[in-house]
Chains A and B, each alone.
Chain A
Amino acid sequence: MKKLNYGIIIVLGIISFIPLLWVIITSFSPGNQVINGGFPFWVSNPTVENYVKAWETAPFIQYYINTFVIVFGVLIVQLFTITLAAYAFARVNFKGKNVLFILFLLQLMIQPEILLFPNYQVISQLGLVNTKLAVMMPYWASAFGVFLLRQTFKQVPYDLDEASRIDGCKWYQTLWHVYIPSAKPTYIAFALVSVSHHWSNFMWPLIITDSVESRPLTVGLALFAQSYETGAQWGMVAAGTVMVIMPLVVAFFIFQKQFVSSFMHSGIK
């Protein structure tokens, strides 16, 4: 019974690993080998030609830069907005707290992803279509981040807060010296989830961007892949795909524990 189950799990684990392995191998295969068949997990004469060609055909460097700007542009503003809002919800008593809390909750239910169409109109009213700013803005408020951080802030001992006030700290100094340092693991968890989420985002940047200057990697990859749908160009598309996923995959394998606990953190709280 036990052996059977472990057997099943090992087989499933291997199957689960195959797509990544295969795309990496294909990206190093010469163009004709994919079509000619042969054992798909072996390349007798590996080549980096696919990477060179992919790099030359599409402006991947620009796409990388765009993605970096977008991902960190989202994160930095989010860190600012969620810290202030979380502090208010965790430690200040004010009128309308419950109503405002529910309004924040709404963003968890109606996420920006499903508001593709009306948000396009908002951006176009602002005259920001086809800018990196447009890709970032809908995510600058994060109810998810606010809730995550509020839970953490609530656990900070109130005495610590009071002591720093008696010492003459202003609220922002207390926030900076007491709350933010004690919430470091939460910030890391939120940052990892946010970065990997926005690195992967596709539909929104697809509709809101229309130029090399503002397009992120995911959209660039999709357009690149679409121009080479025939099997002969598999190697190039595979190389492009590997280039897009590699930073995430490498970061994941290095900081694996951190990633898993962050994603776990993000759900149960």
Chain B
Amino acid sequence: MTTKRRKISSGTRHNLFAYGLLFPSFIFLTMFTFYPTLKSIQLSFYSGPMTRLQFSGLDQYKEVFGDEIFRKVILNNIIFMIGTVPTSLFLAMYLAIWLNKKMAGSSLLRTSFFYPTIIPLIAVANIWLFIYTPQYGLLDNFLHLFGAGDTNWLGNPNTVMIVMIVMIIWKDAGFYMIFYLAGLQNLPRDVYEAAEIEGAKPLQMFRHITFPLLMPTTLFVMIVAITNSFKNVDHLYIMTKGGPDNASNLLLYHIYEAAFTNWDLGKAAVLTVILIVIMLGVTAFNYLYLDRKIHY
């Protein structure tokens, strides 16, 4: 009897102790993750100004999905993702494989690829705005050497997305590269030695050994890169404000516009819910599905 009671009371004590330890984190998670998420969901079903909210059911969702600009923004974000993710992953893997070997200057090159990671995106936007400026910019200056004329890279709906994608690849490829470098360090040496004895060619070794063994790294980096393509929009503020004619607008920036330029709270709530669903989809796929299949 007494031992049982002591067990219960010690269990409760353990529980309370743990809850106490978690409490500081939990307050801020509640205030800035759980509550705002639920609040956005609730608000997405109400319309009108903040003081006189009226239940409107799915009306705002219908409105958003019927909105041409919204469709354009979603399409842009998908293009942006398809443009940035595979290319930076490929580049990162390529760089890592060659820079993993010891050669003169490889650490200098690694530095040159990695440093853009630590530069704030807003500063990156300033620098690349100069690069892309028509006539005087570095890119046009360079193209003049080949007799090309001036191009308004950021002002033309056909080129704006491409040049932004190039900039983001420059910023992120080096970051992903270090994950591949880490992945390469952990590959088993003996497999390569065995393959060499068997007379495997470098390209075969890559296809049948390196690439498959790097798969966990690739999947992890892919999730990070996809998340980044929805999360990082700072550059739009400096470079285009989403223009021209929404040609470079992305979902999170569109939320910013709806909430803080147009003060359309219902729409901002709906858009936020959509973005949350996208993020949950991407990351849940990683944690619940991929993590179970692959062990790091």
Contact = CB atoms under 8 A, between A and B. Distances in A.
A112 interface: yes
Given A13-B109, A109-B280, A137-B31, A245 B119 contact: yes
9 contacts: A84-B22, A93-B18, A103-B34, A171-B17, A207-B259, A238-B130, A241-B123, A241-B127, A253-B111
Contacts of A121: 36, 39
Contact of A259 (B19, B118, B284): B118
B120 interface: yes
Given A114-B275, A117-B260, A259-B118, 10 more contacts: A10-B109, A16-B116, A84-B22, A103-B29, A115-B36, A115-B40, A118-B39, A200-B122, A260-B114, A268-B183
Given A85-B21, A88-B22, A116-B252, A111 B122 contact: no
Contacts of A156: none
B260 A110 contact: no
B36 A119 contact: yes
A226 B128 CA distance: 14
A225 B104 CA distance: 40
Interface size class of B (residues with CB under 8 A): 35 or more
B130 A141 contact: no
Nearest to B278: A114
A109 B14 contact: no
A32 to B, nearest CB: 12
A140 interface: yes
A23 B170 contact: no
Interface size class of A (residues with CB under 8 A): 35 or more
A13 B112 contact: yes
B81 interface: no
B65 interface: no
Contacts of A14: 112
Interface of B: 11, 14-15, 17-19, 21-22, 24-29, 31-37, 39-40, 43, 95, 98-99, 103, 105, 108-124, 126-131, 133, 136, 138, 141, 170, 174-175, 178-179, 181-183, 202, 217, 220-221, 224, 227, 230-231, 233-234, 237-238, 252, 255-256, 258-260, 265, 268-269, 272, 275-276, 279-280, 283-284, 287, 296
B102 to A, nearest CB: 13
A118 B36 contact: yes
A245 B279 contact: no
A268 B111 contact: no
Contact of A111 (B15, B43, B231): B231
A106 interface: yes
Contact of A218 (B35, B123, B276, B296): B123
A162 interface: no
Contact of B217 (A117, A122, A268, A269): A268
B62 to A, nearest CB: 20
Contacts of B133: 231
A103 to B, nearest CB: 7
A249 B280 contact: no
Given A34-B136, A109-B284, A241-B127, A104 B29 contact: yes
A172 B71 CA distance: 54
A96 B19 CA distance: 10
Contacts of A137: 28, 31-32
Given A19-B170, A92-B17, A94-B15, A116 B259 contact: yes
A16 B22 contact: no
A76 interface: no
Contacts of B123: 218, 221, 241, 244-245
A9 to B, nearest CB: 5
Contacts of A253: 111
A5 to B, nearest CB: 6
A252 interface: yes
A100 B123 CA distance: 38
Nearest to B182: A264
B226 to A, nearest CB: 12
A37 B141 contact: yes
Contacts of A196: 118
Given A114-B276, A114-B279, A237-B126, A122 B14 contact: no
Interface string A1-38: 10001100110111011111011001000000011010
Given A116-B255, A218-B122, A9 B25 contact: no
A263 interface: yes
Interface in A190-243: 196, 199-200, 202-203, 206-207, 218, 221-222, 225-226, 231, 234, 237-238, 240-241
